[in-house]
Structure 1
């Protein structure tokens, strides 16, 4: 399941990217979570430690992304109240996020489609969890990685994915657009293309067969193979015997 935003005009998309203009960012807001798009919140681990706050926001699902070394402290706290997905990663530029993203996206898609609200957090909510959210926003609105990054930054000003994560965010734009192109390609046309390729493969196999047969014949019997489009395979005509002196020359 892939949830996406309803079709929007260019002006509507620009407005969404810009975000609310009446929010004055304060340093203390780094320790809070912010709503990035309807049903999706982003923040630090500390925001996931307040049961009262989570319930007040209507959170139903939580994606906990943590460095494996932080597992003793950054962990689900209220499993009896919320559904959790926990991802153990390495918070460094070498960590492959694209490989982990589809599972996280499926979890978020399912939650939002069922009317739930999802909080995505890492320890600080600065680099790791924002990278996941930027990729999600990019595909949800079908926008460029730059626009998705600006959209998230305009709601949580303090985010700053590291260089490695930023590179993967850029790469993911090409991946999701390729998937969209494949999905949009008419199924009937794909079937015709496959059939055409199969026919071409059959012709290739046939040509290879006749070429092999001709080579064998020529090397062993000094023959030549005669065939036409209507009757590809005819008798081998031997040239081992001397020609009939009485035959007419043409």
Structure 2
């Protein structure tokens, strides 16, 4: 089920949306809060692996699902801690600017959507909750509220002040805006996608036909210009 259907979306005016992106104004951010988790959307929390080890805290928040995102080198410490209490999705990635997050995002989004649709609450975390897991949450928020990448980043950042996706992740967040908007356009006008598919198929067929015609012409030239027969009595030069 798509996230746009999972949540009870509120239609905001431009002013309301601006205020929503700004977030609560009465929160005083403190350094130790980076070790905790913050609610980004109703039922969607973002934090570090420290909070993922606190069973009582997670139960108190009503967490039912956990997306554990980690570098493979961190697997010994950043791992599902309470599989008997929560449903986990674990993503092994490389925490560097070359890691492709867009390829992994649909699976994470589907897991979050399903959890929320069932009335659950999801914690998304990586090691520090600064760069890797926030990139996934920013993409989720961007698609859900149909925001541009800057507003989505600010929305998440105004609730968890310490986030700072690295340059490579930020580039992919920008790229994902174009991807999700294209998907929405195709979903709203499926005939556009069908026309594109038919046009591509027609172009491919035309290319195949041209290739066959070229081969036929080559064969015709060969048939009409046979190689001269060898005359053993001819003078060699």
* Same fold (TM > 0.5): yes
For residues 25-62 of structure 1, give each alpha carbon's deviation from its aligned partner in whole angstroms, at most 9, with x where no partner exists: 01110110000001100000001101000000000000
Tell me the equivalent position of 1:2: 2
Partner secondary structure for residue 3 of structure 2: coil
Question: 1:182/1:28 Cα in 2 relative to 1: closer, same or farther (>3 Å)?
Answer: same
- Structure 1: where are the runs of 5+ without partners? 221-250
Structure 1 stretches (4+) deviating beyond 2 angstroms? 4-8, 189-205
CA–CA distance in 1 between the matches of 2:65 and 2:24? 25
RMSD over aligned CA atoms reads 2.4
CA–CA distance in 2 between the matches of 1:199 and 1:124? 51
TM-score normalised by structure 2 residue count: 0.81
CA–CA distance in 1 between the matches of 2:17 and 2:74? 38
Asked if the contact 2:186–2:193 (Cα under 8 Å) also holds between the matched residues in 1, the reply is no
CA–CA distance in 1 between the matches of 2:203 and 2:165? 48
CA–CA distance in 1 between the matches of 2:83 and 2:190? 44
Question: 1:165/1:80 Cα in 2 relative to 1: closer, same or farther (>3 Å)?
Answer: same
Q: CA deviation at 1:194?
A: 6.7
Partner secondary structure for residue 123 of structure 1: coil
CA–CA distance in 2 between the matches of 1:146 and 1:38? 21
Tell me the equivalent position of 1:181: 185
CA–CA distance in 2 between the matches of 1:88 and 1:193? 36
Partner secondary structure for residue 183 of structure 1: helix
For residues 197-244 of structure 1, give each alpha carbon's deviation from its aligned partner in whole angstroms, at most 9, with x where no partner exists: 889999997xx99xx9xxx9xxx9xxxxxxxxxxxxxxxxxxxxxxxx
How many residues are matched? 211
Partner secondary structure for residue 69 of structure 2: strand
Asked if the contact 2:89–2:111 (Cα under 8 Å) also holds between the matched residues in 1, the reply is yes
CA–CA distance in 2 between the matches of 1:93 and 1:178? 25
- Structure 2: where are the runs of 5+ without partners? 225-237
Bigger Rg, structure 1 or 2 = 1
